[in-house]
Amino acid sequence: MEFNFSIVGYLLQSNQSQAAIARVVAWSGYLRASEVLNLTWALVALPGDPMLSYYPSETAGVCIKDTKTRPFQFVPISRKESVIVLAAYKRSTRPEARMQSKVFTLTYSAYHQQLQLACSILGLLDFRITSHLARIGRALHDFVAGKSAESIAIIGRWKDLSSL
């Protein structure tokens, strides 16, 4: 199950770019909806940031303050498309508004509603639509691509295999 870019495309065409970008970042980092919507710019690292010195040069990453498993977890984002989108989005924001401000101003409810509407219009109603769809979709994508459930659980920060 590859990432469904038609949802992102629809959101972008509908002037809902924050929901589109949040979905791309959530999918790339196995992020829960609450994690992606609570990111601040101070906790986003783009290629070249010293925080990423142990990662390949084209990697971005986010630090999540609060998760279900433990606080302050760093999540690398290595998919090229996602890094490009995140970097472009950061450049499009006002520099003075960045550091402590949230990356996305969407509420959880608005994010969920925008995803539901996009899926409905695109006829993607064969599965239960949740705002965690990106996280689950990425796990399924990686499993079908041959990654073990154990490695997915570690990368995706699941507490244990039974919750995956």
For residues 51 and 61, is the Cβ–Cβ distance under 8 A?
A: yes
- Domain residue limits at 30: 5-163
Per-residue pLDDT of 44-62, as tens digits, reads 999 988 888 888 889 999 9
Check whether 72 has a pLDDT greater than 60: yes
Residue 114 class from Cβ within 10 Å (0-12 exposed, 13-18 middle, 19+ buried)?
buried
The tokens describing 160, both together, are 């244990």
For residues 7 and 23, is the Cβ–Cβ distance under 8 A?
A: yes
Give the domain CATH number at 64: 1.10.443.10
Per-residue pLDDT of 110-156, as tens digits, reads 888 888 888 778 777 655 666 577 888 888 888 999 999 999 888 88
How many domains are there within the chain? 1
For the whole model, what pTM was predicted?
A: 0.82
- Residue 21 C-beta-side C-alpha neighbours within 13 Å: 19
For residues 46 and 90, is the Cβ–Cβ distance under 8 A?
A: yes
- Rounded to 5°, the CA angle 161-68-97 comes to 135
Nearest Cα to Cα of residue 78 among 16, 138, 8: 138
